[in-house]
């Protein structure tokens, strides 16, 4: 029987590559993004008859409710939609903070919890959450982003353990710098020049490693060789200083 995946944030970057990867394997896809024109562009690029393209603002509760109530129960949820957030402490307005929190944390929890009873009923399923290495390291001037990604990482880890014996795997992916449109869209394009090449991972690499980890039922994955090497040192003072120097975050 054909498997069905629901991917959020599928128009570009990691979400698009996830859609491409699964479409090549014959999956049925429900692909969600926010902007119609970008969604249409991705539809042309993907050229997959088994994919349905949907437009929702996932920073809004109504969108999540509508997806839960109207979509077929997926065999795989890839909770990926998100944006980079640039802002020093106190710089981000209250309504923006709440919106970002819902988009990348609260809304992801609502989406997963909306589908969980139906997935449990099917007695089989996988959930992939795209968090960030920012959940584990200090990110000055991106503290809100870091806290949101840490929140959804903690949630994913906990439900992964909770659902372990019910044939449902939950994997949290924690990528470092990935070459997508995210930085440019957040006005962080200077990072594309300042962060050295060896620190960048491709979206294809993120998808390949994340999907492999999910199929093995692993709780978390940090894609890319370089990040695997530095993983044990991430919270050492010296590592944080080097990270700040390389990425020019002061």
Ligand X SMILES: NC(=O)c1ccc[n+]([C@@H]2O[C@H](COP(=O)([O-])OP(=O)(O)OC[C@H]3O[C@@H](n4cnc5c(N)ncnc54)[C@H](OP(=O)(O)O)[C@@H]3O)[C@@H](O)[C@H]2O)c1
- Residue 74 makes contact with ligand X by CB under 6 A: no
- Residue 177 makes contact with ligand X by CB under 6 A: yes
- Residue 178 makes contact with ligand X by CB under 6 A: yes
Task: Tell me, by CB under 6 A, how many residues bind ligand X.
Answer: 30
Q: Which stretch binds ligand X (CB under 6 A): 68-76, 173-181, 211-219, 220-228?
A: 173-181
- Residue 224 makes contact with ligand X by CB under 6 A: no
Q: Which of 84, 81, 89, 83 is nearest to 143 (CA)?
A: 89
Q: What is the nearest approach in angstroms of ligand X to the Cβ of residue 203?
A: 6
Q: What is the nearest approach in angstroms of ligand X to the Cβ of residue 15?
A: 5
Per-position x/- string for 98-137, each x denoting binding to ligand X as judged by CB under 6 A, each - no binding: -----xx-------------------------x-x-----
Q: Which stretch binds ligand X (CB under 6 A): 27-35, 43-51, 67-75, 213-221?
A: 27-35
- Residue 34 makes contact with ligand X by CB under 6 A: yes
CB closer to ligand X, 80 vs 143: 80
């Amino acid at each position: 029987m054909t498997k069905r995946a629901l991917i959020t944030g599928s128009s570009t970057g990691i979400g698009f590559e996830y859609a491409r990867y699964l479409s090549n394997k014959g999956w049925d896809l429900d692909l969600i993004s926010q902007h119609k024109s970008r969604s249409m562009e991705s539809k042309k690029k993907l050229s997959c008859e088994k994919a349905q393209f949907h437009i929702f603002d996932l920073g809004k509760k109504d969108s999540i409710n509508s997806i839960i109530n109207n979509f077929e129960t997926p065999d795989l949820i890839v909770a990926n939609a998100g944006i980079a957030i640039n802002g020093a402490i106190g710089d981000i307005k209250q309504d923006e903070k709440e919106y970002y929190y819902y988009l990348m944390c609260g809304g992801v929890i609502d989406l997963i919890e909306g589908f969980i009873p139906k997935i449990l009923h099917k007695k089989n399923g996988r959930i992939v959450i795209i968090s960030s290495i920012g959940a584990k390291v200090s990110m000055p001037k991106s503290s809100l982003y870091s806290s949101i990604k840490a929140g959804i990482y903690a949630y994913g880890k906990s439900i992964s353990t909770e659902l372990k014996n019910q044939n449902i795997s939950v994997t949290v992916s924690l990528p470092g710098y990935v070459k997508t449109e995210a930085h440019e869209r957040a006005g962080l394009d200077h990072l594309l020049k300042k962060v050295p090449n060896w620190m960048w991972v491709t979206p294809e690499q993120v998808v390949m490693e994340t999907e492999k980890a999910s199929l093995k039922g692993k709780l978390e994955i940090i894609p890319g060789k370089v990040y695997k090497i530095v993983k044990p040192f991430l919270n050492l003072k010296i590592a944080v200083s080097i990270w700040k120097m390389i990425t020019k975050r002061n």
